Amino acid sequence: MATRPFQRPVIAPHVLFGGVYGTVLASSMVAALTQYGETARAERLYDAKWLLVTAAASALAHGYAHLVARRGDRAHHGIRPAVRALLQEWPLIVATLPTALLLFGAGLGWWASRGIEYVAFAINTVLLFGWGLFASRVVGRTWRSALTVGAGDAGLGMAVVVANALIK
């Protein structure tokens, strides 16, 4: 199955990496920030802010690491390539936005703040499934195979989140 032109930018490795990493990061942050049972609206606003700060810091760290790692190749170096390397980490930040919106909405009273972490985990599990399914279909896997890969990716992602929560 050939990729359609509009799909090529979406299946770029940095987009898939950032999407998956950001989704796992968002779930891990929610688990870490709510482990003490704080469910007050003000806490959810605080959680949303910290999630976005952490996503931005992670994106900068990844961009910086890529920049340093590429110094050994023969690519042109300078300010523009450095800025491009940092800006290519946008998918990581975008992938945390659904969770940030949930927390922000709970903080503003749009919906209940108690239990919103479970909604975030459910949505992020579906997103991880979607990333795996989408990537598999774009490269030509059958629907059955892509569904299996998506389910495996969702399970693996949530296992990472649980392991991360248990470590902290």
Q: Residues 44-88: pLDDT tens digits?
A: 999 999 999 999 999 999 888 888 887 777 666 678 877 887 888
CA atoms lying within 13 Å on the CB side of residue 156: 12
Which class for 167: exposed (0-12), middle (13-18), buried (19 or more C-beta within 10 A)? exposed
Q: Per mean pLDDT, which range of 33-42, 74-83, 108-117, 124-133 is the poorest?
A: 74-83
CA distance 112 to 119: 11
Q: pTM of the entire structure?
A: 0.85
